[in-house]
Structure 1
Amino acid sequence: MELLEVAEAFGLGEPLRTHALRGGSSSGAWRLDTQDGAWLVKVQPPAGDWWARSARRAYELESAAQASALPLPRPLLPPDPAIGFWHDAGPYYARVSAYVPGRTARLGDPGLAEWLGGTLAAVAALDLPADLADDESAPLHPPADWRAWAAEARGSEVADAAQELLPAVAEATGLVRAAEAGAPAARLGHRDTGLANILVHQGSFTLIDWDAAGPVIPWWDAVHTALRCAGGLDAPGTTDAAAVRQTLAAYRAAGGPVGAADETAFAGLLRSTLAFTAYTLWLALGHRGGDAEFRAQGARRFRASADSLHRALGSLPEWQT
């Protein structure tokens, strides 16, 4: 991939310097400085129809957020052919946005909780319809699928963890299904609002990386995000309860839609954790290819994610208070 090609296609001006932010030659992100400014360039290889649908959803939400002056990096419209904000360059897709300076947010940053709650409410207020059933990136797999994967895992390094996880999967899946049966309509949301995607610069916050946008129940998303940004998903007893309350109070004050303050409020968190845990189990089992080290890495990620699911279920009584 040639950044010169991207600069020319998007009309960014003559390149001066580049700095790799993550990834390698076929996918990743770079800061590109040109005579006309500083830009964030992201590239990735083609990823199929599901990715194209996801990119169009992200374009819809990001465009609406920009039009409503939400705090996000300014995305550049791509040249044709394009999918959403991504230019189809043949062997790869590329997108460009204005580069935003700053460091990643940290728990305890002054004003973070209030800003976070207000921003979540503002995203919900965009009121873009969505459907949880259309969420290909985070499906709710039936327990029968998990039992089949656990059987497949026999004799592998994740055999015990996969088998021991089945009761937690059944409990979490049942809770999510019950909650979704009586849930309000879903809306498009950012879905990856964590500290790593919030930049702080001169006292201002910016929400970056909107590419994971998809359907959420706004209240569930607010609860999930408040816990995530307050350390609630890290380890038992690490939740900054005051930060959670401040975030949700700001969300309510800004007019964010509110639901029940019971275990159903955590359905979004559990659904997300279930989907990611399934993905990591597939990696460990070789469903996504890769060599032995790649599968071993998947196994480590699976065990960590399985621990997160156990911890989340065990923390529900504490979180409800």
Structure 2
Amino acid sequence: MSDNRYHLQIAKLCERLGLGPLAGNPAERSGGLLHRTFALTTASGNYAVKALNPVVMSRPAAKANFLRSERIAARMEARIPAMAAKSLGGGVLHDVQGQWYMVFDWVEGRACSPGEINEGHCARIGGILAEIHRMDVAGFELPGEQPTGEPPAPADWLGLLAKGLDGGFVWAPRLQELAERLYAWEALANRSAAALAPEAVVSHRDLGPKNAMWHHGRPGLIDWEAAGLIHPLLDTAETALYWAEDAAGLIDRDKLGAFMSGYARGGRLPRHAEWRPVLEHGFLGKLGWLAYNLERSAGSGTAAADERRIGTEQAVATLEAVVRHAERIDALAQWLEAFGSEQDGPDAKTIV
């Protein structure tokens, strides 16, 4: 398979893995930003099958990365409600004529929207993150991995802008406004990353609301693809902000406080942390996702219309998310430092 499109053969996958014949057509589930997921029933049970994005799987390190992340998820299952891929036929990755899959037991539940998330959800996830961070890094067999590694190569924002203007993409005017600032934020993030103390934990690294399936008040944590080493303060800040952001993109201080209190009860929160460099470091993940989706929107590496559409949507949203992050670093750093020293944040409902 060389055209980077999905070539789905789920019935053949089930046959090969001994899951039994399909009882009806697989139902595709919405919400995935990189891969496609299907709910299905066979003679042996109910499953979720993730068809892995062919563009992602064409990368040289992709298979090794999936194997590592699923090894982490499987080890996490003993301590937290992680949902790891099933090991079938001697492995967790399955190739059917060039299309790669993973299979999971189907578990009831759904992700909460920003408007549905309450302080209880935030406190629960904060406590789970603290439990994740308490796990011994040495037990995960991650030889040579570093929490940040070498600084990523700078994105070619002006080159991406040229593609956007030539192609008339909807994100091009906003990228033109922000291009020079993107270079500055990227440099700031790399300086801040270098300044952080060399401390690392193993974590999910993308534990936002879309990756927690709630059922009867209990979460199941999915999509461990990004799992690996990360600085604990960076992981805490990014995850807290995922859960505290409302539908308008504002940070709800009550939800942020609930998350941080849940995390602090795990005993992992330093009382005098410097949060500004942590928050500045946080630009890197957002900028990396932005660059990927600008390329994706412009059609680099794929001709699939759905891929370009998702890339466009994510590029537009991420440009605004980067700007919001820059605008609220001062207020967030002040709030987090006050919380860390007093275990209580300043008054006011939201942070812009």
Q: Which residue of 2 aligns with 1:172?
A: 185
Amino acid at match of 2:59: G
Q: Which residue of 2 aligns with 1:90?
A: 97
Q: Contact 1:219 / 1:256 at 8 angstroms: preserved in 2? A: no
TM-score using structure 1 length: 0.82
Q: Contact 1:175 / 1:267 at 8 angstroms: preserved in 2? A: yes
Could you tell me how far 1:292 is from its partner in structure 2?
Answer: 8.6
Q: Which residue of 1 aligns with 2:345?
A: none
Q: Which residue of 2 aligns with 1:6?
A: 13
Deviations 1:80-109 (A, max 9, x none): 4x4xx2123332222111111012124434
Q: Contact 1:230 / 1:239 at 8 angstroms: preserved in 2? A: yes
Query: 1:3 & 1:318 partners in 2: Cα distance?
Result: 49
Q: Which residue of 2 aligns with 1:221?
A: 235
Amino acid at match of 1:309: V
Query: 1:204 & 1:294 partners in 2: Cα distance?
Result: 32
Q: After the TM superposition, which residues 188-227 of structure 1 pair with which residues of structure 2 at under 5 Å, given as runs?
A: 188-227=202-241
Query: 2:183 & 2:322 partners in 1: Cα distance?
Result: 11
Query: 2:106 & 2:241 partners in 1: Cα distance?
Result: 28
Gaps of 5+ in 1: none
Query: 1:8 & 1:231 partners in 2: Cα distance?
Result: 43
Deviations 1:146-167 (A, max 9, x none): 3443455555535443332233
Could you tell me how far 1:241 is from its partner in structure 2?
Answer: 1.0
Q: Contact 1:120 / 1:222 at 8 angstroms: preserved in 2? A: yes
Amino acid at match of 2:223: D
SS at match of 2:273: coil
Q: Which residue of 1 aligns with 2:48?
A: 40
SS at match of 1:101: coil
Deviations 1:14-39 (A, max 9, x none): 54344423379xx6222222343221
Q: Which residue of 2 aligns with 1:115?
A: 124
Query: 2:96 & 2:305 partners in 1: Cα distance?
Result: 32
Could you tell me how far 1:297 is from its partner in structure 2?
Answer: 6.4
Could you tell me how far 1:132 is from its partner in structure 2?
Answer: 4.2
Query: 2:195 & 2:331 partners in 1: Cα distance?
Result: 23
Q: Contact 1:18 / 1:31 at 8 angstroms: preserved in 2? A: no
Could you tell me how far 1:256 is from its partner in structure 2?
Answer: 3.2
The verdict on how the C-alpha distance between 1:104 and 1:152 changes in structure 2, with shifts beyond 3 A counting, is: closer
Could you tell me how far 1:248 is from its partner in structure 2?
Answer: 1.5
The verdict on how the C-alpha distance between 1:288 and 1:196 changes in structure 2, with shifts beyond 3 A counting, is: same
Matched pairs, number? 309
Query: 1:159 & 1:99 partners in 2: Cα distance?
Result: 41
Q: Contact 1:168 / 1:309 at 8 angstroms: preserved in 2? A: no
- Identity, % of aligned pairs? 24
Q: Which residue of 1 aligns with 2:266?
A: 254
TM-score using structure 2 length: 0.76
The verdict on how the C-alpha distance between 1:11 and 1:70 changes in structure 2, with shifts beyond 3 A counting, is: farther
Q: Which residue of 2 aligns with 1:65?
A: 76
Amino acid at match of 2:58: A
Segment drifting more, 263-272 vs 90-99: 263-272
Query: 1:109 & 1:169 partners in 2: Cα distance?
Result: 33
Q: After the TM superposition, which residues 292-303 of structure 1 pair with which residues of structure 2 at under 5 Å, given as runs?
A: 298-299=311-312, 301-303=314-316
Could you tell me how far 1:255 is from its partner in structure 2?
Answer: 3.2
Query: 2:25 & 2:165 partners in 1: Cα distance?
Result: 47
SS at match of 2:61: helix
Root mean square deviation, CA, Å:
3.0
SS at match of 1:191: coil
The verdict on how the C-alpha distance between 1:37 and 1:159 changes in structure 2, with shifts beyond 3 A counting, is: closer
The verdict on how the C-alpha distance between 1:14 and 1:282 changes in structure 2, with shifts beyond 3 A counting, is: closer
Query: 1:92 & 1:109 partners in 2: Cα distance?
Result: 39
Could you tell me how far 1:65 is from its partner in structure 2?
Answer: 0.6
Q: Which residue of 2 aligns with 1:275?
A: 288
Q: Which residue of 1 aligns with 2:29?
A: 22
